[in-house]
Structure 1
């Protein structure tokens, strides 16, 4: 049976999770509209996707600019006659103490990570309503449930996204064939942290448990076939959501302690605004080199051990506090 071809829009497709998502949809021979601020990286990705059987349109877009996103939707509609799936994925990261990080940095994180997703939804929903169908997928991350110390702007955007999406789901309930889906992955092995704005003065590394972004890409493709309101991606994400839901203060404290301890020991580095205002000329691969590329379930045994350690520590802290 021939696979059904759909028109799929993916923002932030030039590297990391977005690149992995594009390649996953390309295997289905879908018509892909890949978007980011780095056109040359998109063109390189397009060659890979076309080799897998997809038709590809590259569009240079800054999701923080609403008019740029409106243009993206119009180009996607013209390319595919209708828009079947829209994946909000473009995102940036800034790390540093809130009061010593320039406010324009936090502003830009909000513009990209929160308003960028709202721009995408606002641009595509008129098309979905006109055709009475469509799937909007938001790649939110575990940051939508777990606050990140030294990443206040990032946390504000991710928590805001979760609220925005929940409101949108309720509003769209009369439209039976329009779906809003949220993905909540744990830390990913992508170049994202290499692109981050860094005001800590220290070399940054991801948390000790990172997932292959291919696993997230597979989950998002699955949502495009069988939509559901939300999907946690990885045991660590499930654990952290549960931990913060049950013991928020202790979980916040534990995360802050881990990050603070790391920053005290990390090597010094100059501050940088990263890719917040302009795309960078490096780090356009799927993987960042932090984990085990190509093996989506390779961390399962480590996650199981880590989950037990973290949960045991939290319960022990709670017990000591009650004594």
Structure 2
């Protein structure tokens, strides 16, 4: 889709963060937007901002854990525009803390929103893509879909699941060359998402950053629709995580665990909170939360250096194995 003028784009999780930034990016490209989120007022604010740019934008309050509501979202898009060209499964929530400390209903809701929400959206839009013989499905994964995320185990489970689902579905659709399934794997992004997550660690969750901007991730999503690819990393930490875990999974697991334990020990004490996992909260309606960000344009020196380091580490480990076996 080299031109997005009048393309019909459905975005979930569009009331804030990456979803809001992506809606505005597609609006500037001339697309017609159908926007979904649980919070009706912030969602309508996003739609209004898109209209001010000059794009058609419809807000449809939707809880992606409800398959009937997601089907109604697809129906609303078809009724308004007659087709769907792009569907962006973007909702993401999490629980931070030892797995056994957080209530099981919170852990289940993470899977229901992240993984089942992606399945619900895909199930609703795929019949339209098949009928049209074209369409782009973009699934928000995370660098946590490539490597472990200690103290956010259920979040990692949902993201690993989305990656596996996307890769499997892609193969099922090989007979439909006009339909594309894309996965986006960003590093840390400055959005209200961390504040919206549940926190059962007993510590304040405030990673030092720097963070990607949601606008950069939005540009990547728009670029994927123009030129679809199976998987794309956003930010060198995501690339590094993929290489490191692929070459040295045990070392990467231990390193991630040690880093998270150290960060939690250094963090100030904080109260436990369910965040916005079970029900929406009024705060956090912008694209950013105000953390230090860095701007990425193309491959960075850091990504090249870490990639090379990962390859050297893999070669060293392989050599050690061969020497021991020899």
Is the shorter-chain TM-score for this pair beyond 0.5, marking a shared fold? yes
Return the offset for 1:46.
1.4
Q: CA RMSD in A?
A: 2.6
Counterpart in the other structure of 1:128: 129
Counterpart in the other structure of 1:187: 188
**SS of the counterpart of 2:240?**
helix
The answer (yes or no) to whether the contact 1:95–1:197 under 8 Å persists in 2 is yes
Counterpart in the other structure of 1:284: 285
Q: Report the count of equivalent residues.
A: 319
Counterpart in the other structure of 2:140: 139
Q: Which runs of 5+ in 2 are unaligned?
A: none
Counterpart in the other structure of 1:201: 202
Counterpart in the other structure of 1:222: 223
Q: What do the CA deviations read for 1:194-220 (whole angstroms, capped 9, x no partner)?
A: 111000011001353421111111110
- Please show how residues 160-175 of structure 1 align to structure 2 within 5 Å: 160-175=161-176
The answer (yes or no) to whether the contact 1:251–1:314 under 8 Å persists in 2 is no
**SS of the counterpart of 1:127?**
helix
- Please show how residues 16-55 of structure 1 align to structure 2 within 5 Å: 16-55=17-56
**SS of the counterpart of 1:36?**
coil
The answer (yes or no) to whether the contact 1:9–1:83 under 8 Å persists in 2 is yes
The answer (yes or no) to whether the contact 1:213–1:296 under 8 Å persists in 2 is no
**SS of the counterpart of 2:259?**
helix
Normalization by structure 2: what TM-score? 0.91
Q: Which runs of 5+ in 1 are unaligned?
A: none
Normalization by structure 1: what TM-score? 0.92
Cα distance in 2 for partners of 1:25, 1:69 equals 21
**SS of the counterpart of 1:279?**
coil
**Distance change (3 Å), C-alpha of 1:218 and 1:318:** same
Counterpart in the other structure of 1:99: 100
Cα distance in 1 for partners of 2:172, 2:77 equals 24
**Distance change (3 Å), C-alpha of 1:311 and 1:289:** farther
Cα distance in 2 for partners of 1:174, 1:308 equals 34
Return the offset for 1:291.
2.1
**SS of the counterpart of 2:87?**
strand
Counterpart in the other structure of 1:5: 6
The answer (yes or no) to whether the contact 1:17–1:216 under 8 Å persists in 2 is yes
